[in-house]
Structure 1
């Protein structure tokens, strides 16, 4: 009876680990693809992968995927933009963007988890808004603050410079919404189950 009771939990944990590792690898691949230098910060597909991690996996696993990426890169794997590794990127102008990754993935996942589950596979506009909000709160806030700290910019100049990334991020966010809805259509139980209040239990499910 013990084996029967614990087997589903073990499978669930193994699945979570595999998903986290997969999305960590995706973030790394997107970081290593050719980048477009714009001043001290390159334009990469990292924010696409980070946002997709949260939108597909949910808050907890999205945070862990982005955090694992940072830990592996800091430990010496050449998986940061341009193949860099170690602690040097955390002392450079991109430090704010790097630190923002787990927070942005977590907030995107938190918001997506709260969308009606019946509609999530077709909620491209809602997922778009959830991801763009997460990026605005963390990536486009901590990123410029890091620039002001490490790139010898004023805070105003750093936030003005960050506007350069917004057009590309809007396009990447739309791609995230398209991919995430497709994934949720194919795997409707991928997000973690949501705790329901007593009032929700008495009403029809989303």
Structure 2
């Protein structure tokens, strides 16, 4: 990789984790899992899938950490959940959630973080808020598609769309806009400090 390409990858995120030591990166993964757990507790009860800030958190971790470290962080958080830590929606925990109606959404999360992180590394980040919004929206759409497809295996396609996809579309747009705004503010704050 040439120096220009490497520096552009390092500069995409205000956290610049790619240029930090392994210790910093491990600490970032641990902090990221705490952030994801906190986002899981902010929810609106709905059946069979609650609406919460998890997809916001997953997209933010991807955008700030990049596709590799973002994906690792989300997988670490899911492992914590499977081992019984109360880090899922509303404090849920246990391996049972990885075979129930929400399993498709859970398995989609590392893919979403990877997609948003990959796009962020290519300029779809806080320096270009419209592209950051589209990246987060693409991540949310992917999560709804995978989660809805899994849900359809147990309740049928029509019911999965009615209960597992359509109610979350407006929330996906709002969370994507919030994420793009946060990334823009972080980008402005870090570039101002660099001058």
Q: Common fold, TM-score beyond 0.5?
A: yes
Q: Which residue of 2 aligns with 1:82?
A: 90
Q: Distance in 2 between matches of 1:10 and 1:123?
A: 22
Corresponding residue for 2:128?
123
Aligned-residue offset at 1:82: 2.1
**Contact 1:74/1:85 (8 A) holds in 2:** yes
Structure 1: gaps (5+ residues): 1-8, 189-206
Give the CA deviation at 1:49. Answer: 0.5
**102-111 or 77-86: which moved more?**
77-86
Aligned pairs for 1:173-192 within 5 A: 173-187=176-190
Instruction: Output the CA distance in 2 between the equivalents of 1:134 and 1:11.
Output: 26
Instruction: Give the Å deviation of 1:11.
Output: 5.2
Tell me, in whole angstroms, the C-alpha distance in 1 between the residues paired with 2:190 and 2:31.
16
Q: Is the 8 A contact 1:56 1:184 kept in 2?
A: no
Q: What is the alpha-carbon root mean square deviation over aligned residues?
A: 1.9
Give unpaired runs (5+ residues) of structure 2. Answer: 1-17
**Alpha-carbon spacing, 1:164–1:10, altered in 2? closer, same or farther (3 Å):** closer
Q: Which residue does the alignment assign to 2:3?
A: none
Indicate yes or no: 2:138 matched with 1:133: yes
Please give the TM-score of this superposition, normalised by the length of structure 2: 0.82
8 Å contact 1:56–1:183 — kept in the other structure? Answer: no
Q: Would you say the 8 A contact 1:59–1:105 is kept in 2? A: yes
Give the number of aligned pairs.
Answer: 173
Q: Which has the larger radius of gyration?
A: 1
TM-score relative to the length of structure 1: 0.77
Equivalent position of 1:91 in the other structure: 99
